[in-house]
Amino acid sequence: VPDDVKRVFVTALDIDPVWHVKMQATFQRFTDNAVSKTVNLPFEAEVEDVREIYDLAWQLKCKGVTVFRYGSKPEQVLYIGEVKTKDGKFVSAQSEYAGGCPTKNCPFPG
């Protein structure tokens, strides 16, 4: 991906973890209920990094926060670089697909 595109379309891993928490705290001030957000941490993150995130969230009065360290699970939502699948295929859906009916007994009108 070209650098000029990367600067505009950043991923969760491109954002400093502190800014994840600050964004949540700012958003939460204008929300009636609690907000929870996952702070994405790099693979190199250590216990102290996690502690700092939770301390900052507490200081900023965040009501819910979770952390995810890149590569901490065999399967994850975000990947850096190429992703290899067992069969080499990804699941896809047409842009008009709305979910459909998983059974033949769905309560749709008409």
105 lies in some domain: no
Q: Is the pLDDT of residue 96 over 90?
A: no
17 lies in some domain: yes
Report residue 101's pLDDT band, with 50, 70 and 90 as the boundaries: confident
Distances 80 to 26, 42, 43, 67 between C-alpha atoms, Å = 28, 11, 11, 18
8 lies in some domain: yes
58 lies in some domain: yes
63 lies in some domain: yes
102 lies in some domain: no
Report residue 4's pLDDT band, with 50, 70 and 90 as the boundaries: confident
Name the residue range of residue 43's domain.
3-69
- Count of domains observed in the chain: 1
Contact 42, 13 (CB under 8 A): yes
Sign of the four-CA dihedral 45, 50, 53, 55: negative
Q: Tell me: the pLDDT tens digits for 42-92? A: 999 999 999 999 999 999 999 889 999 998 888 887 777 766 666 666 667
Q: Tell me: the pLDDT tens digits for 5-15? A: 888 888 888 88
| This prediction's pTM | 0.65
55 lies in some domain: yes
